Amino acid sequence: TTSFEVTLTRGPSGVLGLMIQSDSDNNVVVKKLYPGEPAHACGLLRIGDIIKSINDIALETKSNAEVVSLLKNEGPNVKLLVVRAESDGPAQATIPDLQQSSLAEDLKRQGNQMMRESQFAAAKE
* Predicted local confidence at residue 106, as pLDDT: 54
Q: Which stretch of DSSP H or E encloses residue 41?
A: helix 38-41
Q: Given this model, what pLDDT does residue 12 score? A: 86
Terminal Cα distance for the chain, rounded = 64
- H/E stretch holding 4 reads strand 2-9
Q: What is the largest CA-CA distance in the chain?
A: 75
**What is the C-alpha separation between 34 and 14, in angstroms, rounded?**
13
Q: What was the pLDDT predicted at 13?
A: 87
Q: Please report the sign of the dihedral spanned by the C-alpha atoms of residue 109, residue 110, residue 114, residue 117.
A: positive
10-residue averages of pLDDT along the chain (125 residues): 94 91 92 94 95 96 92 93 74 46 53 53 55
Q: How far apart are CA 61 and CA 23, in angstroms?
A: 13
* Structure confidence at residue 117 (pLDDT): 53
32: DSSP letter: E
Upper half-sphere CA count for residue 9 (Cβ side, 13 Å):
1
